[in-house]
Amino acid sequence: MQKIEDSEGRVLVICHTANDWKDGLNFITDDSEFIQVGTWCYNNEKKLDRHRHNEIERISNITQECVIIMQGSMEVNVYDGNNKFVDNFRMNGGDFAVFLAGGHEYIIKSDNTKIIETKNGPFLGVELDKTRF
């Protein structure tokens, strides 16, 4: 698992590859992040407790996202909060990355690349939620 930080130590991105899986439940994001991402790795017949999630008002001031490469590959360029390039990495099928802060750019590197994106909402529109640079 790779964590990319800005010059002040703030985690910008966490990249989890297909080789990073561990048995059991493993959350890779800190409890304080607006998006919570963890992995599950269990054997047959493992039963997880029945549950539901309670309605609790939460306040978030930034959109965070997770992308999961189902098939294909893409290159990711990572930028800090001042739009300065920090690092880059390549993602392949089975990898996922959590984008917590700063900026990012995606470049698809294979035909028929299939990606799932999830993020906190509600989505308020491109004009309010994004700044292109």
Structural tokens at position 81: 């909060």
Number of domains in the chain: 1
pLDDT of residue 123: 82
CATH no. for residue 30? 2.60.120
Terminus-to-terminus CA distance in the chain, angstroms? Answer: 28
Mean pLDDT by 10 residues, the chain (133 residues): 96 97 96 95 96 93 96 98 98 98 98 97 85 92
Domain that holds residue 104: 2-45+57-129
Q: What are the residues facing 97 on neighbouring strands?
A: 15, 67
121 in any annotated domain:
yes
Let me know if residue 51 belongs to a domain: no
Contact 69, 95 (CB under 8 A): yes
Residue found by looking up tokens 């890779």 in the block: 28
pLDDT of residue 124: 83
pTM of the model: 0.90
Instruction: Please tell me the predicted confidence (pLDDT) of residue 34.
Output: 95
